[in-house]
């Protein structure tokens, strides 16, 4: 666990360790916001036995996302992290994000379908997490709160636009003054 939160310099470690940590992290981050969808699915299908299948396929999709993260993660600096954060903020304002977010809030047909919509809705936030330090407890908490809120709360421009602009501003701050962003660079 040494070096687990070294900002953008954090390496993911061996594949098995990363996947175990990623799976637990995704369960903690993504399942709480999926509880209402799991309950709706259980009622629609007519049984509590369907809920674990829904949850398993939903979580399984996030595990596959972890494989992709592991495959593409490369050492990067604060400029790349800032650019990814700016892009994530811009994504928050797109019609594609809104479509995925709305679909993520609707009655799901399956855990996999729900997961695909929620993955699309959270893609920018998850890219931020990877760019800022996927093993950072602080960034994990921030992203988990935002992703859960977006699953549970209806879209509202009065909240969503300022959030997107704040994310873009964070990205700009990372590019121009990375040392002013807590948790971005390794402690001295």
Domain residue extents for the chain: 13-176
d(CA 1, CA 15): 14
Residue 3: predicted pLDDT? 45
Residues in the chain: 188
Binned at pLDDT 50, 70 and 90, residue 129 comes out as confident
What pLDDT is attached to residue 106?
75
Average pLDDT value for residue range 160-184? 89
Measured CA to CA, the distance from residue 30 to residue 35 in angstroms comes to 9
Confidence band, pLDDT 50/70/90 cuts, at residue 20? very high
Of residues 153 and 175, the one with the higher pLDDT is 175
User: What is the mean pLDDT of the segment spanning 126-134?
Assistant: 86
């Amino acid at each position: 666990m040494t070096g687990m939160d070294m900002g953008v310099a954090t390496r993911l470690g061996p594949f098995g360790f990363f996947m175990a940590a990623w799976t637990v992290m995704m369960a903690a981050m993504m399942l709480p916001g999926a509880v209402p969808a799991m309950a709706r699915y259980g009622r629609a299908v007519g049984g509590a036995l369907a809920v674990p299948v829904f949850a398993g396929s939903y979580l399984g999709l996030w595990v596959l996302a972890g494989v992709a993260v592991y495959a593409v993660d490369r050492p990067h600096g604060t400029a790349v992290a800032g650019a990814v954060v700016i892009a994530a903020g811009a994504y928050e304002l797109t019609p594609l994000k809104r479509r995925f977010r709305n679909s993520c809030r609707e009655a799901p047909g399956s855990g996999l379908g729900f997961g695909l919509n929620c993955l699309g809705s959270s893609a920018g936030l998850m890219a931020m997490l990877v760019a800022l330090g996927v093993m950072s407890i602080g960034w994990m908490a921030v992203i988990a709160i935002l992703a859960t809120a977006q699953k549970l709360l209806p879209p509202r421009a009065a909240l969503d636009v300022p959030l997107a602009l704040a994310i873009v501003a964070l990205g700009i701050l990372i590019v121009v003054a990375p040392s002013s962003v807590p948790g971005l660079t390794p402690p001295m």
